[in-house]
Amino acid sequence: MAGLKYAVHAYAWTNSWSNDTLDIIDKAKALGFDLVEVPLMEIEKVDAAAIKERAGAVGIGLCTSTACSETTDPTGEDEAVRAAGLDYLKQCIKATVDMGGSVFTGVTYSAIGRKITGRPGEAYWERAASVMKEAARYAQDHGVTLGIEAINRYETFLVNTTDQALALMERIDEPNVRVHLDAYHMNIEECDFYAPTKKAIPHLCHFHLSESHRGTPGTGVVDWDGIYKALGEANYQGIVGMESFESVSPAMAAATCMWRSLAESSDQLLRDGLAYLKSLEPKYYS
């Protein structure tokens, strides 16, 4: 059977992570997930020691993610903003280490939701790569993989496709930098699901198994067979996960724009979605 490690994003249950929501770790374990994806957008609320203690007691793994903001934008024209971006990424990497995680990913290369008036030129790519290279070296010293998540054109101007994520990874040119895919975004930006997934797998650190409407996997138009076929053919053994939002975090509201419920409850969405995704494994993993 497959060695896929299923994560669940904490925003499935809460719109703001803090010590008041540590019971999410217990809920994730009870539903059958292997990891909790801890959001670091509000880094000041993240108590890494408390998270590590709770996860250890429950017996579940941890990974982390974020989305840079206008004040921490690695592509920012202002050198001070880029410096703040590097400092923020280092804070996130340190928090990941302190809670016992080893994969930190997300929109680590630019401010989520930022709009520009034309195609991004060389300067944007170079600024993003320069900041991320320094962050990657810091992460490497701490045993952390740094991921680049490709997201849709309405949420970033820079990395929308697998090819663009791989291009930025190659430009950064550090051994611990990897690619992060998300089926929700792929449904908007890619021509299919199988080929980009297969191309990314040698460099993949995470895959958000999000439905086309961010609801329960198997109820939208994502080609799950194409994704699992590619994962199975390459015998991918890493992290995959559900990123479905029942309520939207203020930190993500402008980008996510999800203003309706997509299931009776978060637990129901996650339970049904995880069961559906796991049902695909025997077909594509021997």
CA 156/CA 284 separation, integer angstroms: 33
Q: Is 189 in a helix, a strand, or coil?
A: helix
CA 166/CA 204 separation, integer angstroms: 10
Among candidate residues 155, 211, 243, 246, the one labeled active-site is: 243
Q: What is the DSSP string of 30-87?
A: HHT-SEEEEE-TTGGG--HHHHHHHHHHHT-EEEEEEEE-GGG-TT-SSHHHHHHHHH
Query: Phi then psi for 190, rounded to 5 degrees?
Result: -100, 160
Q: What is the DSSP string of 127-147?
A: HHHHHHHHHHHHHHHTT-EEE
196-198-201-205 Cα dihedral, nearest 10 degrees: 40
Name residue 146's beta-bridge partners: 104, 177
Among candidate residues 37, 134, 149, 189, the one labeled active-site is: 149
- Terminal alpha carbon distance of the chain: 6
CA 128/CA 181 separation, integer angstroms: 18
Contact (Cβ atoms closer than 8 angstroms) between residue 144 and residue 65: no
Verify whether residue 243 is a known catalytic residue.
yes
Contact (Cβ atoms closer than 8 angstroms) between residue 178 and residue 205: yes
By annotation, the residues acting in catalysis are 149, 243
